[in-house]
Every structure is written in structure tokens, then in C-alpha cells.
Structure 1
């Protein structure tokens, strides 16, 4: 992984923002490629990840055992604010050194896990709501490394589904999606 995590998160946040803002309230009950979440549940999960990984960057614990409902008031604007705070948290001097969280994972790996959610789950949202989404190429290179490194453990912990075959001529991002158990060609109604 060559780029600073904060730079990769910033690039992901810029791409995530229009997708989140493009979700219509009427789409909140729609299904997503991430089978355990509808659009509302996925947005709440994303908010919780963004807030939790701010805490992890600051060497605090994050509680992922329950997910509050973040979709009150002007939640779209709040998502932009929270992703900005996430980027700043991971830009702090020395943040990518040592270990983070209760699993004592390397700090850079933890930051890349936030990048994974902010990229793959934004794709989930875009697919579910009929929006376009193009991830950052450097971020995808980093995520390819992360998925290869963490895939077996993530599948064992039920964070990833069983890998799916990538379609013929798959892009690097489609390979990441397939490695996390997603159908890269998923469409609503699948």
C-alpha cells in the first residue's frame, strides 16, 4: 500500500458523497447487493463505520455491536461532515503507526478497512439506487491487497461472503467485489 490512508479516504469520500446525496427517501426500503442490508440499514451501517473509525484513528475503542439510526434530520449533509472528520482523523501525525482497536491490527490495515467500507458499500448503494459509481483507482489497488490479506479471516468472521467467480474480463474493482462475496453485475431484483 503506497498512498497515505487519509488521501485514499479523501478520494473515496469525494466519490461517496454524490451517491449518498442521490439516495431518495423512497429508496430506503430497497434491497442492496449486500443481502443483510436494505438501503436504510446500509446507510446506517456506513455512518456507524465512519464514526467508529474516527474513534479508532484516535486510539479509542469503537462499539460495532449495535448500530444506531443516523437517518434523522439532514443526514446527507451530516454524512459529508462525518466523512470529512474521518479523513482528518486518519491524517493526524503518526496515526498510521502501531496498532489499532481491540484486535490490535496494524493501523494502516484498520484505515484500509474503513476505505473498504467507504468504497464497496458505496457501490452497493449506487447499484441499489440506480446511480453511477466509479471508485478511485489507487484505492482499488490498496483494497485488492487488503482483500487478499484479510479475505480468509474476514470470511471466517462472516464479514465477507464466500468469494464468487469474477466475470470474464473483470476490472480490478469487480475482482475486489467478487472476493468479498458480491456479484459484480448485480442489479435490483437479483
Structure 2
């Protein structure tokens, strides 16, 4: 069984997993486009997102306490948790009712997980010199989400103030710029 949310996650997840799998130990202290996070911090945050959005799909409270997930086998565990995330959102019950604690439609919560997965995979790819090609459907969701929730997300600190994108910007770069990311960011 699948839902629209799990299908979107299925398309985006392999791209994020590929980026995480390619991160080397000597890159963990590098800066990222998400200025408050090093690569290590951002991988831990993304890992936390993947784990906690499973809980949110099951209508259980998420635990946002900081945890260091980067222990032996962390890249394989991240891949496994990402598969569990897809499975959690494949259950039609995940899209019923209202998300407890957030008061949002579950589909919106699922979109938030998809956006985190996509944007932070881009952040990590930029920080570690990897190519990244977002799933086109994820990019479309990013734009639609910003149309509906961008102002709220910026007020809450989830997104930075919009920045200018180059005239030839891709749909992903335009979405990133709307979220306050500089599409041409480089660690140097």
C-alpha cells in the first residue's frame, strides 16, 4: 500500500541516502549552507527528522532531544531509517485526522518531512562537494508549500528570508532561494 506522501518520499529518499552514504569522516566538521550546523550536526538533525517523522506519521509524539547518531554503521542505519520513514507514511492512517501537537493536516506534516529530507540533502551535498539532483516532484512540493506556508515558516524560523536567485536558476534553486538558501553556496 502507498500514499501520495510515501510515493513522494520514495522518490526523494534514495537521493538523500546517496548523499549521506558518500560523506566521509574527514568532512564531518565542514560548514554547511545551514549556518548553525556543521556537516556532523546537520546529519544528526536529518537523522532526527527521519526518525521523528516516523513517529509523527503514527500520531505519536516526537523526541527532538539532541542525539549523536553518528556511531558505527550510521550511514547504513540512516538508509534503513529512511526506508522506515517511507513505510510509516505508506499507511493510509498516517494521513487521517490532525497531527497531534502540531495541529496541522498530516499531509502538510508529511510535506515538511519531504522538504527537510530534500533541502538538507542539498545542504550536505553542497558542503561535501557532491552533485545533487532533487526529485522533480519534491521540488514542486517545495514551491507549493512555500506558497501556502512560507510566511509562517519564516516567522517561526524554519526558513530564512528569501534571497535572489540567478536568472537561469533551476526550479530547485528557485525553491531554495525562497527558503533563504543561496543556491550558489560554497564552503570556500
TM-score (norm 2): 0.96
Match of 1:25 in 2: 25
Shift of 1:148: 1.9
Cα deviation digits, residues 146-189 of structure 1 (max 9, x gap)? 12211111111111111111211211111110011110011112
Moved more, 18-27 or 97-106: 97-106
Q: 2:168 matched to which residue of 1?
A: 169
Which is further off, 89-98 or 104-113? 89-98
User: What SS does the aligned partner of 1:45 have?
Assistant: helix
| TM superposition outliers: structure 1 runs of 4+ over 6 Å | none
Instruction: Give the equivalent residue in structure 2 for 1:14.
Output: 14
Which has the higher mean CA deviation after the structures are superposed, 170-179 or 124-133?
170-179
Moved more, 125-134 or 143-152: 143-152
CA shift, 1:92, in A, is 0.5
Matches within 5 A, 1:170-189: 170-189=169-188
TM-score (norm 1): 0.95
Tell me the CA shift for residue 94 of structure 1.
Answer: 2.8
| Root-mean-square deviation over aligned CA pairs | 1.1
Q: Which residues in structure 2 correspond to 1:89-168 (within 5 Å)?
A: 89-168=88-167
Q: Distance in 1 between matches of 2:141 and 2:185?
A: 23
CA separation in 1, counterparts of 2:33 and 2:139? Answer: 19
Q: How big is each residue's C-alpha offset from its partner over 1:53-94, in whole Å with a ceiling of 9 and x where there is no partner? A: 000000001122x22000001000000000000000000023
Residues in 2 aligned to 1:167 and 1:94: alpha-carbon distance in whole angstroms: 42
2:131 alignment partner, SS class: coil
Deviation at 1:29, TM superposition (A): 0.3
**Partners of 2:147 and 2:32 in 1: how far apart?**
24
Moved more, 76-85 or 140-149: 140-149
